[in-house]
Structure 1
């Protein structure tokens, strides 16, 4: 089956100037450097990694908001790598984005109705009456009331603003939504509501997501597969449950080992060896495996040659880029967090009812 989205050796490099009196570039920032992945119809691919690894650049490449330096990007089997003009404009409604900051991504001068109708107006979809009807249909889909249509963004909480951003992405009926850390600016209880909303919308509308996040617990809840990124390259990709139960790259293990342990008796048990150095920047990517300066298992081949993604034995769909993946010791995953105490559940219920009363008023 043809994937909805396919990236093949996708790259984006930025030349860095040599200074005020020099026209010669001082170097090259390889923000995305040969990334390949697929997103199937109705699937969520989670993308995780540290700040500066290239996740947001990859998101913008995926939507063709920036042009790739090299590589191929296909959408529904069509090569869109160099698509321009009217052909690209016709494709835009099929690929939308939910932004990280719900406070900065909405125009404060516009009402919710105007914000949701704007993409319809830009793409020439419907007349004024049809656009208003679409707005009224979108609001309940994201858990907002019809009377919210005539309010402005400053009258809403952060979680409600992100719901508006999701509704705006849905307005033109896309097939793919890129979620660039959509819950990182929200409180934990609100994060759960927004993530559950995204999952419900996916089930109802058959959406595909490229879901970018730092929070591994959020990614585990929402993703079907997870890709782990280091300095512009994907180091491991696998079905979500398999990756969390059997991480096969030292970097993935370090990310998972950093998850807080709720059991005091197990907080000091090591889940992985600690990093031995700071991660280099995208302007000074090392030779060989780009994680080897921090890897406690690095050997001479790791410093000479960069490994490619290879299948992990006995794990269908699990790929890893590590010369020593087969030698890693058994993994002890961090325990799951216990359920919230009754008092915390009552407090969350009270806050939800309070917000509903405020909204209805």
Structure 2
């Protein structure tokens, strides 16, 4: 695979307090010196608790926010400081699927108009063929051509998210950032949308940054997972390897929080204690040391660097070689069976579409 995205030392600081003259005197570091890569056609899962900087990272990559420091290279070119027409051209290659499928759609526009708008802005399809392209996009996401005449309020949450995906696909991007794209949906609908994203990615070869706080969801779709805590990446690993041998104590705690039906397995969980520190005044050293059961004095004083474990994983922890083995996850946490069931449900839903409303 060819390298599509390379992020080095990315940082984003927001003004938390200013003086009487409007000059900033205190900042909050939403993202602090993170680095990662993404290959063409690959899915990178970005996970962590709420407020850890996942969504800010996605918006920085898409250049919806200007970074405070660091660099972003896309397809071999530096896009960190591009502006104007160059930035507009970049929008076609990088798209976003929003968390709220209703708030991201204009309630005064029909679905057809919503999908036609990006085609017009980028001049991709002649006016005579736009209706045909809209019908094609709707069919790609499991909807019918007649849905183009309806408005967002006439759809369910899962259908609206399919429209959001179709809008992102309209400009034929190389990279899509899915920002908590299934968190507002029911569990069965989540599985359908995840299967849809996987199928579309396999068909179109799109790279995907999938942002979520639920590791069980990310496990089903991601090739690699990057774990974030308080603005920093603490571990990166291939998905199966991360679930089999988590190295960072925070990753182990996140895995332990996945619901399981066996009470005995639940009793073996490594539960987190305490609250997440304030990003305005983060603790010195390792930012996780205030909640880590394995912390020592070095953790409180020295910030751990990201280091390779030698088997494809990277971890930012002083004591990763000394930690006891993590308890294995029960086999029932595997979502393969649920994914197959969701595919059957999706086919049933598509074969029993509601007829168009008369107007």
Question: Does structure 1 retain, via aligned residues, the 8 Å contact 2:111–2:151?
Answer: yes
Determine if the alignment matches structure 1 residue 324 to structure 2 residue 319: yes
Q: Secondary structure at the residue paired with 2:92?
A: helix
The question of whether the paired residues in 2 share the 8 Å contact of 1:259 and 1:334 is answered with no
Q: Residues 271 and 334 of structure 1 are in contact (CA less than 8 Å); yes or no, is this contact kept in structure 2?
A: no
Q: Equivalences for 1:142-291 in 2 at 5 Å?
A: 142-268=141-267, 270-272=268-270, 274-291=271-288
Give the match for residue 296 of structure 2. 299
Alignment of structure 1 residues 21-170 onto 2, 5 Å? 21=20, 23-170=22-169
Change (3 A) 1:346 1:260: closer
Q: Helix, strand or coil for the counterpart of 1:337?
A: helix
Q: TM-score, normalised by structure 2?
A: 0.93
1:2 to partner: Cα distance: 4.5
Deviation at 1:278, TM superposition (A): 1.6
Structure 2 residue matching 1:17: 3-state secondary structure: strand
**Are 2:192 and 2:342, in contact at CA under 8 Å, matched by a contact in 1?**
no
Q: Is the 8 A contact 1:101 1:185 kept in 2?
A: yes
Deviation of the 1:259 alpha carbon: 1.0
Query: Which residue of structure 1 lines up, in the alignment, with residue 354 of structure 2?
Result: 359
8 Å contact from structure 1 (residues 6, 75) kept in 2 = yes
C-alpha distance in 1 between matches for 2:5 and 2:175: 8
1:308 corresponds in structure 2 to 305
Shift of 1:346: 9.9
TM-score w.r.t. the length of structure 1 is 0.92
Q: Which runs of 5+ in 2 are unaligned?
A: none
Distance 1:327 1:339 in 2: 28
Closer, same or farther in 2 for the Cα pair 1:173/1:186, shift >3 Å? same
Q: Deviations over 1:271-291 (max 9, x none)?
A: 32x334322021111110011
Q: Is the 8 A contact 1:276 1:293 kept in 2?
A: no
SS of residue matched to 2:87: helix
Contact between 1:271 and 1:333, CA under 8 Å: does it hold in 2?
no
Q: How many residues align?
A: 353
8 Å contact kept, 1:98–1:165: yes
Distance 2:163 2:95 in 1: 14
Coordinate RMSD, CA, aligned: 2.3
